[in-house]
Structure 1
Amino acid sequence: MKMKTLAVAALALALPFSALAAKEVTKEEVKTMKLEKIGTVHTTAETTSPMDAKKLLSQRADEKGGKYYLIIAGREHGKFSATADVYK
């Protein structure tokens, strides 16, 4: 029973944060959803995995007021860096 309560509590805490995260989209989704570009965000060799780079891009898109981001460039050189356009 305690495990079930703990799982529900963890989910309740995670939901508000995930609801704020910008969502990655494809070029096709940008066109079909008619999204408006509001800027660009970058990571600069700050992460050690592609998933961490995506998480950081999502956070930075949120900070710009975006709901969506499209990765337009990525590079691995020991660490990962990426660039994404931000849309609302």
Structure 2
Amino acid sequence: MKLLPIITAALLTTASFATLAASEISASEANRSNLQSMGTIQVSNITGSPDDALSALQQKAMEEGASHYRVIGIDTPSDSSQQRANAEIYR
């Protein structure tokens, strides 16, 4: 029965982090919401897929204190496997 408190703590921790994550919104949601723009962010040299770049954008938005972010663009510069992305962040 000592396992139950550990599982409970792990679930509560996961739920807490999930509620702190910045949420991605669309351009139309950003236009009709009462969110205040905080500026733009960019991530680059992200190895992997576009999903990895989006995860990096979400992480950076959280670090900047944003509650929401809107992806402006994502691309692969040159012939590399690295991703680059930028977003507008909101509070």
Shorter-normalised TM-score: what interval? Answer: 0.7 to 0.9
Distance across 2 between alignment mates of 1:20 and 1:7: 20
Distance across 2 between alignment mates of 1:79 and 1:8: 38
- TM-score under structure 1 length normalisation: 0.81
2:84 maps to amino acid = S
Is residue 47–residue 81 contact of structure 2 (8 Å, CA) maintained in 1? Answer: no
Corresponding residue of 2:14: 14
Distance across 2 between alignment mates of 1:9 and 1:47: 33
Aligned residue-pair number:
88
Cα RMSD (Å) of the superposition? 2.1
- TM-score under structure 2 length normalisation: 0.78
Corresponding residue of 1:31: 31
Distance across 1 between alignment mates of 2:68 and 2:38: 10
Cα distance change of structure 1 residues 32 and 17 upon mapping to structure 2, 3 Å threshold:
same
Distance across 2 between alignment mates of 1:5 and 1:80: 41
Mind listing any 5+ residue stretches in structure 1 that lack a counterpart? none
Mind listing any 5+ residue stretches in structure 2 that lack a counterpart? none
2:64 maps to amino acid = K
Cα distance change of structure 1 residues 87 and 78 upon mapping to structure 2, 3 Å threshold:
same
